[in-house]
């Protein structure tokens, strides 16, 4: 496959270091709050990459960290630990917050069909690994102690400024963000490997180290966790675009200085989901979650489809109207699949192979997921029996993860139930969003109308309206939806 590599800034053919395994590392969430749907766009597109690699026959080992310490409010080394801020907001301990939001994150992932990585490691469980790396960096002169902290010395590197186009002055993190400068740093882009001099008396988690009691910086956790589980080389490292600098730049600096050789071959960065008022951000406190989408009646997989419809290297603007369109498209797609008849003859192998090749080409071209979605419609239109179409849809869905066949089966079952309910309801068919209590009310209204009891029918319509349900009469009976 061809993958855009942010390190070389071009599309490259993907060749893993070891033919039998692809080693993939993902920067995980900082668990001080719910993940917003922007964060989840990143994990979703990384999930597509993992699934496509597996589809192509690779063995993949994917590792993700959970940031539960050390990520300060600015991605430079200033501000408060985000976890501490979360704990204070909710009057709970840092570990309670971490546990709660880690579980919430994986619940959201499950709803979006994002596979859990093979290894998930909290930053707080690998302190030994960071201490080992930092010790060697000090011994070899890549790190220095100042004011009680340990810093990485970026001036030791010839090529520090990977992942940015700016000159050194613009990248002076402290200055750029208008936050105080750390005067212990020899140069502005040096970054903290280990804090002992915390400004915050109540820093909750601290560990003993050769440099005093303290806690690790944010960047070191990804190098430590990756090396612990994947060894000294890495095929693909992923993250959202905001992780590129300084986080990934710093990961490369410390990992390659520690190892003495190249660390990771391919860097994949997912661009941001923005609201129409700007970037979606967890630290601003107001953001959209998967639960909120569900409360508003959206299927989380409609959001997955929305993400798949555009390329991961383009910013994506979220609006409710866009999501409505995706939900409509998703439901129509499921309806078309539900109308196919399973078990209709053998799969036409020639058609199957030709369509599959088209799909592989699309995804193999830097994950062109929108063409991958088009391939679903091509499969529905192809001149072959329904069994062939279903086999193609099931095959593509291994990568797209839209639960197409499961949802279609659910729909077929619901339609069969509605039909049999209709026959026991005097031929009146009620369709809606799958709530039996509302189905019952809508049916009673339709029956009252049929019996010309309009007062009763109107009163039930009012009752439904008060519940936020709109009823439309159809030829067979009535259908309803939440408004
Ligand atoms: P965090 O939990 O803040 O460490 O972020 C988790 C992941 O979401 C990281 O890979 C970020 O780069 C990514 N991310 C943050 N904001 C957005 C956004 N608006 N759209 C897409 N990805 C994002
Ligand atoms: Zn990371």
Closest ligand to C-alpha of residue 75 is: 1
Q: Which atom of ligand 1 is nearest to the CA of 28?
A: 6
**Ligand 1, closest atom to CA 242?**
12
- The tens digit of pLDDT for each residue in 275-320 reads 887 777 766 656 899 999 999 999 999 999 999 999 999 999 999 9
Confidence of residue 256 (pLDDT cuts 50, 70, 90): very high
Task: For residue range 159-190, list pLDDT tens digits in order.
Answer: 887 887 545 554 444 333 444 678 899 988 89
How many C-beta neighbours within 10 Å does residue 84 have? 21
Distance 257 CA to ligand 1 centre (A): 27
What is the reported pLDDT for 17?
97
Identify the pLDDT of residue 159.
83
Among 170-174, 251-255, 471-475, the range with the most confident prediction by mean pLDDT is: 251-255
Mutate to test the pocket of ligand 1, among 27, 30, 240, 315 (most ligand atoms within 8 A of CB): 240
Query: What pLDDT is stored for residue 173 in this prediction?
Result: 44
Q: Provide the pLDDT for residue 405.
A: 97
Of the listed ligands, the closest to the CA of 237 is 2
Determine the atom of ligand 1 nearest the C-alpha atom of 31: 2
Which of 39, 101, 287 has most ligand 1 atoms within 8 Å of CB, for mutation?
39
Res 39: pLDDT: 96
* pLDDT at residue 98, as a whole number: 92
Which has more pLDDT, 80 or 466?
Answer: 466
Task: Determine the Cα–Cα distance for residues 458 and 90; give it in Å rounded to an integer.
Answer: 47
- For residue 153, the tally of other CB atoms under 10 A from its CB is 20
Spatial CA neighbour of 330 closest among 408, 383, 272: 408
Among the residue ranges 41-55, 349-363, 413-427, 445-459, the one predicted with the least confidence is 413-427
Q: For residue range 374-426, what is the model confidence (pLDDT) as tens digits?
A: 999 999 999 999 999 999 999 999 999 999 999 999 999 988 887 777 767 77
Decide: 161 and 168 in contact? Cβ < 8 Å: yes
Which of 26, 37, 42 to mutate to test ligand 1, by most ligand atoms within 8 A of the CB atom? 42
- CA nearest ligand 1 atom 12, residue: 240
| Cα–ligand 2 centroid distance for 64 (angstroms) | 9
Tokens 């501000």 belong to residue: 79
Instruction: Please report the pLDDT score of residue 425 as a whole number.
Output: 75
Number of residues in the chain: 483
- How remote is the CA of residue 210 from the centroid of ligand 1, in Å? 33
Q: Sheet holding 278-279: strands in order across?
A: 278-279, 273-275, 316-318
**Partners of 273 in the β-ladder:** 316
User: 93 CA to middle of ligand 1, Å?
Assistant: 24
Kindly report which listed range (195-204, 401-410, 411-420, 450-459) carries the lowest average pLDDT score. 195-204
- pTM beyond cutoff 0.85: yes
- Is the distance from CB of 150 to CB of 135 less than 8 angstroms? no
Nearest ligand 1 atom to alpha carbon 279:
19
Per-residue model confidence (pLDDT) at position 177: 44
Q: Please, which residues have CB less than 5 A from ligand 2, an ion?
A: 27, 222
Per-residue pLDDT reduced to its tens digit, 337-375: 999 998 888 999 999 999 999 999 999 999 999 999 999
Q: What is the pLDDT of residues 76-86, one digit of tens each?
A: 666 777 888 88
The angle that helices 218-230 and 127-139 make with each other, rounded to 10 degrees, is: 100
Residue nearest to atom 22 of ligand 1 (CA): 39
Q: pLDDT tens digit string along 108-134?
A: 999 999 999 999 999 999 999 999 999
Residues 6 or more apart in contact with residue 8 via CB below 8 angstroms: none
Nearest-CA residue for ligand 1 atom 6 is 29
Residue 75 confidence (pLDDT): 63
Rounded average pLDDT over 454-482: 89
Strand partners, 431: 479
Looking at the chain, the whole-number percentage of residues with pLDDT higher than 90 is 69
Say how many Å lie between the CA of residue 65 and the centre of ligand 2.
7
Over the range 458-483, which residues count as b (16 or more CB within 10 Å of their CB) and which as e?
Answer: eebbeebeeeebebeeeeebbbbeee
**Of the candidate ranges 183-192, 236-245, 322-331, 347-356, the one whose mean pLDDT is the lowest:** 183-192
Residue nearest to atom 5 of ligand 1 (CA): 29
Residue 292's pLDDT is 95
Nearest ligand, CA 219: 2
The CA 130 to ligand 1 mean position distance, Å, reads 23
What 3-state class would DSSP assign to 374?
Answer: helix
pLDDT for position 180: 61
Pocket residues for ligand 1 (CB within 6 Å)? 27, 29-30, 38-39, 41-42, 67, 239-240, 242-243, 270, 272-273, 279-280, 282
- Mean pLDDT across the chain: 90
Q: Tokens for 401? A: 């993860």
In this prediction, residue 333 carries a pLDDT of 97
**Which pLDDT does position 284 carry in this prediction?**
64
């Amino acid at each position: 496959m061809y993958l855009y590599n942010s390190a070389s800034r071009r599309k490259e053919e993907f060749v893993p270091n070891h033919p039998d395994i692809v080693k993939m590392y993902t920067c995980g969430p900082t668990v001080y709050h719910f993940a917003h749907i922007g964060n989840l766009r990143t994990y979703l597109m990384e999930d597509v990459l993992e699934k496509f690699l597996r589809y192509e026959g690779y063995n993949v080992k994917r590792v993700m960290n959970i940031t539960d310490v050390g990520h300060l409010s600015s991605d430079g080394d200033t501000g408060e630990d985000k976890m501490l801020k979360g704990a204070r907001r909710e009057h709970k301990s840092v570990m309670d917050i971490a546990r709660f939001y880690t579980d919430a994150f994986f619940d959201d992932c499950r709803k979006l069909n994002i596979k859990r990585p093979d290894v998930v490691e909290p930053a707080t469980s690998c302190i030994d690994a960071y201490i080992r790396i930092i010790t060697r960096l000090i011994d070899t002169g890549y790190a220095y102690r100042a004011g009680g902290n340990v810093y990485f010395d970026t001036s030791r590197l010839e090529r520090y400024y990977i992942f940015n186009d700016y000159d050194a002055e613009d990248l002076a993190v402290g200055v750029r963000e208008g936050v105080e400068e750390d005067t212990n740093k020899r140069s502005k882009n040096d970054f903290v490997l280990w804090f002992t001099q915390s400004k915050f008396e109540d820093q909750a988690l601290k560990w003993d180290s050769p440099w005093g009691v303290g806690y690790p910086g944010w960047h070191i956790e990804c190098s430590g966790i990756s090396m612990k589980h994947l060894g000294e080389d890495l095929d693909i490292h992923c993250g959202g675009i905001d992780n590129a600098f300084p986080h990934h730049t710093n990961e490369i600096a410390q990992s390659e200085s520690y190892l003495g050789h190249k660390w990771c071959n391919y860097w994949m960065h997912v661009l941001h989901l923005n609201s129409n008022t700007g970037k979606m951000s967890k630290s601003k406190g107001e953001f959209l979650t998967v639960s909120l989408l569900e409360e508003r009646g959206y299927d989380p997989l409609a959001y997955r489809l929305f993400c798949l419809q555009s390329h991961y290297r383009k910013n994506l603007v979220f609006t409710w109207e866009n999501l409505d369109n995706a939900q409509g498209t998703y439901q129509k797609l499921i309806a078309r699949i539900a109308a196919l008849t399973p078990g209709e003859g053998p799969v036409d192998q020639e058609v199957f192979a030709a369509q599959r090749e088209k799909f592989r080409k699309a995804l193999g071209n830097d994950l062109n997921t929108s063409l991958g979605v088009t391939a679903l419609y091509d499969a529905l239109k192809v001149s072959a029996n329904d069994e062939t179409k279903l086999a193609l849809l099931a095959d593509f869905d291994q990568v797209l993860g839209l639960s197409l066949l499961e949802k279609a089966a659910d729909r077929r079952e619901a339609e069969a139930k509605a039909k049999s309910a209709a026959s026991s309801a005097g031929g009146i068919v009620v369709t809606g969003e799958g709530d039996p209590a509302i189905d019952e009310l809508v049916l009673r209204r339709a029956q009252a109308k049929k019996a010309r009891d309009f007062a009763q029918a109107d009163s039930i319509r009012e009752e439904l309206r008060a519940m936020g349900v709109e009823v439309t009469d159809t030829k067979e009976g009535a259908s309803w939806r939440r408004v």
